[in-house]
Structure 1
C-alpha cells in the first residue's frame, strides 16, 4: 500500500508536489477507506485539471519508480540516459523522490535523488518503533559511490562500483539478494498505462499482448469476460485463441487473439475477432487488463485518462470494484486522471486532486486542503463555476 509520494523538479513540476493517500481523522468514513493501525488511507484518488496543466506529469513519478527500481539494471546500457526530465527552467538542478509505503505490515521509505545522467543518492529505510532506520544508503562521491547497509546484504565493493544509471535494488535483485525480492515485487505491482513520453498510445499490438497475458491466468480472463459484458459493449463473453500469422519475414508465428461472442434478442449468436470490434472495445480491453490485475493481486493502478477509453457512465462501475471487499480483497489502490468533472459527484473532497499550471509551473492540491470547502459542498457545481480553480482559461 502506498501512503504518500513527494517529488520535486520533475517535468512541469518545479516545486515540491505531494500525493498523499492518508486521510487523518476528520473525513467521514467511506467505502474507499483502508484502515491500518487506526490510520486511514484512500483506495481511490482522482486527478482533475485542464489540458496541459500537468495531470500526466503528476502520475509519472509512480510509473518512473516502477521502471527504475525493477528494470534499470538489466534494462539499460551503462551509458544510457535516465528517462526523466527536470523542469525546463531548472535543468541544472537534481530531481528528488520520496515514497512511503507499507509492505507486509511494515512501513518503508524510499528516497532517490538524481539527474538524467546519474544517481546522486539512493536509500531505503524501515520504520522501527517511531523512527526510520536505513537498510541501505548509497551516495555519489568523487570516485564513485559510498555504500552503507544494515540488514541488506549486498556486496559493498559491488555497490560502490555500480554504474550511476541503475538502481541498487534492481542490481541486488539481479544478483539474487533475497532481501531485494519483496521490494521488486512491490514495485512490479504498480500497474500503469504511462511511459516516459506520457500516456501509452493505443496500438493494435497491445490487444495481442493483453490477450497473451490473460490466457496465462484463466481466473483473470473470466473476470475480463464478465467485465466486458457488464460494460454493455454488445458482448456476451470473451474468449482467447492461439492463431498462426505471418511475421515480418513471412514465417508463421503464434499469437493470442481475443474473440467476442454476440447474441441477438431472438437467441442467434455470432463471434467477432477483437480486430473486427470497435476501437473503443479494443482500448477498453487493453485498459481493463492492468486494473483487473491490480484487483486480483493487490498494489496500485496508475491510469492516465481513464475516461478516454471508457464512457463516463462506466467510471462509477469501475470505482465500485475498488470499493467492495469481494471485488478488492487485497485493498488495492487506484489513482487516475480524467477530463470528466462528473467524477466529483462520486468522490469526497479528500479523494480528489486538482492540477493547475501557473507561470509555466504545475501545482497540485487536494480539495480538503482548501479553506472554507465543506464536506457537504457540491464539488461538481463549485468546480464548474470556477470556484475551485484548475479549469481552462477560455
Structure 2
C-alpha cells in the first residue's frame, strides 16, 4: 500500500507535489474503518491544472522499476521536466510491500539517472542501496551482486537486478518489484489509454472465460446498476484462423416480448465500457495492488461512481486493501469521498500545486456540510477560471 508519493520539476509541478493516503487521529472511525491508510483517493481540478501529471508520476516510477532495462539504451521514456529545463525530475514513493515499509527515491534528467536510493523503514529508516550516476555508493552486504553489474544510464537498479534474475540474499528487491508489478490502470507516459487499448474487447472476453468469478462479479454490478440487463453469458465460436474466440450476450428482461438478447456491439457505450473496466477492478480487488485511472467517470452515469468507489472502501469487497487513485470531472463525487480522500489541483502562472482538502485551515469544510457546493462557489479552489 502507498503511504505517500510525490514529484518535483515534473511537467507543470515545478516546486513539486505530495499525495498522502495516511489517516491521522482526527479522521472519524466511520471513514477510516480501522485502516491507517485510505484505499481511495480522488483528484479534482480544472482542465490542464495538472491532475493527470500526478497519475503519470506513478506510471513513470512503475515503468522505471519494472521495464526500464529493456528499453533502448538512450531512452528515458520521455521524462518531462518543468518547461524542459535541465534540472532533474525528482520522484519518491513511500509504500508497504509484503509487510515491509520502503521509501524509494530517484532523480532523473532527460539524459541519465542522477541518483537512486532505496530505504527500509522498520523501527528506523535504513538505507538498502544508493546509486549516484552509474556508481553504487552504498549497499547492504546482502546485495554484493551489485558489485558485478554495470549500470546503465537509463535503467533502474531494481529492474537491472530483476533482469539478471540473481539469487539475492534479501527479499527487498523482489518486494519492491512485486509492489510495482501490481500497479495497473489507463495512464501511460504521455496520454490516457482508451479502454480498448488497456482492456481490449478480446482480452476481456478471454479473461472472463478463464476466470468465471470475474465475470460473475461484472455481471452482478451491471445488473445492480439497473441497466435493464438480467444476465450476461459467454459463448464461443471458431474464427477464420481456426481459433476459438469468446463473445458475450446480454439478456434483457421485461416487456411483452419476454427476455431479449443483445450482442456486445448493440449495447450502449456506457454498458460496454463498464463491462470492459470491471475486469480490471476485479483483478485489483482480488489480487491487491494499486489501480490508477484518469477520468474514470468517462461513459459512466454519475450514480455508478459511488458503487465503484465503495468496492474499494468496503473491507468486505476489498480484503487485500487495494488502493484506487483517480481523476474525475464529476462534481458530486467530492461529497462521497469527503475531505480526507480528495486532492484538489490548482495552477498559477503556469505552475501547478495540490493539497488534500483536510489541509485547508479553519472549519470551512465540515463532515456535515456539502463540499461540492463549496467547490462550485470557488471557496476551496480547484475550479476553472471562466
**TM-score normalized by structure 1?**
0.89
C-alpha displacement at 1:242, in angstroms?
4.4
Structure 2 regions of 5+ residues with no counterpart?
none
Q: d(CA) in 1 for partners of 2:144 and 2:57? A: 26
Structure 1 regions of 5+ residues with no counterpart?
none
Q: d(CA) in 2 for partners of 1:110 and 1:343? A: 31
Residue in structure 2 matching 1:42, options 34, 38, 46: 38
Residue in structure 1 matching 2:349, options 359, 363, 366: 359
Which range is displaced more, 338-347 or 284-293? Answer: 284-293
Larger % of strand: which? 1
Tell me: CA distance 1:34–1:45, structure 2 relative to 1, closer, same or farther (3 Å): farther
Deviations 1:331-363 (A, max 9, x none): 111111111111122122121111111111111
User: Hey, what does 1:25 align to over in structure 2?
Assistant: 25
Residue in structure 1 matching 2:309, options 316, 319, 324: 319
RMSD of aligned C-alpha atoms? 2.2
2:241 equivalent to 1:228: no
Retained in 2: the 8 A contact 1:34–1:42? Answer: no
- SS state at 2:233 partner: strand
C-alpha displacement at 1:245, in angstroms?
3.7
Retained in 2: the 8 A contact 1:82–1:117? Answer: no
Residue in structure 2 matching 1:173, options 157, 162, 165: 162
Deviations 1:313-345 (A, max 9, x none): 111111221222221111111111111111122
Count of residue correspondences: 379
User: Hey, what does 1:295 align to over in structure 2?
Assistant: 285
User: Hey, what does 1:388 align to over in structure 2?
Assistant: 380
C-alpha displacement at 1:151, in angstroms?
5.3
Retained in 2: the 8 A contact 1:45–1:334? Answer: yes
**TM-score normalized by structure 2?**
0.91
Retained in 2: the 8 A contact 1:303–1:335? Answer: yes
2:184 equivalent to 1:191: yes
Tell me: CA distance 1:65–1:238, structure 2 relative to 1, closer, same or farther (3 Å): farther
Q: d(CA) in 1 for partners of 2:138 and 2:33? A: 37
Q: d(CA) in 1 for partners of 2:247 and 2:142? A: 44
Q: d(CA) in 1 for partners of 2:360 and 2:245? A: 51
- SS state at 2:30 partner: coil
2:278 equivalent to 1:284: no
2:1 equivalent to 1:12: no
User: Hey, what does 2:57 align to over in structure 1?
Assistant: 61
